[in-house]
Structure 1
Amino acid sequence: MSSNHGKVETDVEIKAPATKIHEVLTHRPHHISNISPNNIQGCDLLEGEWGTVGSVVYWNYFHDGKAKVSKQLIEAIDAEKNLITFKVIEGDLLEHYKSFKMTFHATPKAHGQGSIVHWTMEYEKHHGDIEDPHTLLQFAVDVSKDVDAHLTSAQA
């Protein structure tokens, strides 16, 4: 594995059930622009159906002070594990990375309410001078927290 291949990951504790946040990301990502408008401006379905492997979604988002876009193929969905994998096929990320994949995995907490959301980003950089996507990982954390706040306030 060359130094241009990398992986960053993090966990986010949330109050919402794992199944609920997975359902939003899988079947209703187009609602996230209303839930986290500072981060996500839009999500459109280009091919397939919401919540199905092989579907293509197009994100308009705001990251590192700039408006950006990302066209992503839904590569895997596991409803039992509350897991979804997106592979970036077009957009701003591919200016810096030859390949980029994001995996969201929500696990119910062993004791009590809430879940742990685990984000993994695997990538190959075009060259060694490109930074690892830590700010994008933080972006995923921020969006997760916004979705959690929305889901838990809706239950209150």
Structure 2
Amino acid sequence: MALQGKVETAVEIKVPADKFYKIWSKQAHHVPTASPNHVETVHVHEGDWETDGSIKVWKYNIGESPKVVKEKVVLNDEDKSVTMIGLEGDVMQEYKAMKIVFHANPKEEDSSLVKVSIEYEKIKEEIPTPNNYLDLMVNVFKDIEAHLLKG
């Protein structure tokens, strides 16, 4: 069994790619409001809400108890992609490295296909593949879609 790997999926949302990307690149502080069952809080640890390389701390729910992660965000405005690199927190107790990458690809005028991948390195073989984190991201994306559609 390999310690390193990658899991990925895609989800279609009924929101323009620009609007979806703007939440993550400029307004991440709205994510807990849009997805309160999955994300409790987010705050800037270093940098700000809009700057590539900023560091944010997220308190989120996965499994039985709340978790915390400190991550560095890398933004690519050209292809509307966000890379979240885990630095510290609960996730780092099971994984030496975790990088979540997602980008919104325009489909039609009012819809997008959001592709998300998680590259990881487990601390030991017994640690499960992070499919639960992939599910978390899809759930948060769907919550953001619903939030943006409400207007």
Q: TM-score, normalised by structure 2?
A: 0.96
The answer to whether the aligner puts 1:89 opposite 2:94 as a matched pair is no
Alignment of 1:66-81 (within 5 A): 66-74=65-73, 76-81=74-79
For residues 18-73 of structure 1, give each alpha carbon's deviation from its aligned partner in whole angstroms, at most 9, with x where no partner exists: 11111101111111111110000000001012121221000001101210000001
Q: CA RMSD in A?
A: 1.1
Paired letter, 1:78: N
Once residues 45 and 102 of structure 1 are traced to their aligned partners in structure 2, the CA distance between those partners, rounded to angstroms, is 18
Paired letter, 1:99: A
Once residues 40 and 121 of structure 2 are traced to their aligned partners in structure 1, the CA distance between those partners, rounded to angstroms, is 26
Give the 3-state SS of the residue equivalent to 1:34 in structure 2.
helix
| Alpha-carbon distance, 1:152 to partner | 1.4
Q: Which residue number in structure 2 is paired with residue 107 of structure 1?
A: 105
Give the 3-state SS of the residue equivalent to 1:32 in structure 2.
helix
Compare 111-120 and 143-152 and name the one that shifted more: 111-120
Give the 3-state SS of the residue equivalent to 2:2 in structure 1.
coil
Give the 3-state SS of the residue equivalent to 2:45 in structure 1.
strand
Q: Which residue number in structure 2 is paired with residue 130 of structure 1?
A: 127
Give the 3-state SS of the residue equivalent to 1:21 in structure 2.
helix
| Alpha-carbon distance, 1:112 to partner | 5.1
The answer to whether the aligner puts 1:117 opposite 2:138 as a matched pair is no
Q: Which residue number in structure 1 is paired with residue 150 of structure 2?
A: 153
Deviating above 2 A after TM superposition, structure 1's stretches of 4 or more consecutive aligned residues are none
Paired letter, 2:95: Y
Once residues 6 and 50 of structure 2 are traced to their aligned partners in structure 1, the CA distance between those partners, rounded to angstroms, is 25
For residues 130-155 of structure 1, give each alpha carbon's deviation from its aligned partner in whole angstroms, at most 9, with x where no partner exists: 1001111011000000001111121x
Once residues 23 and 122 of structure 1 are traced to their aligned partners in structure 2, the CA distance between those partners, rounded to angstroms, is 23
Note the residue ranges of structure 2 that are not aligned, 5 or more in a row. none
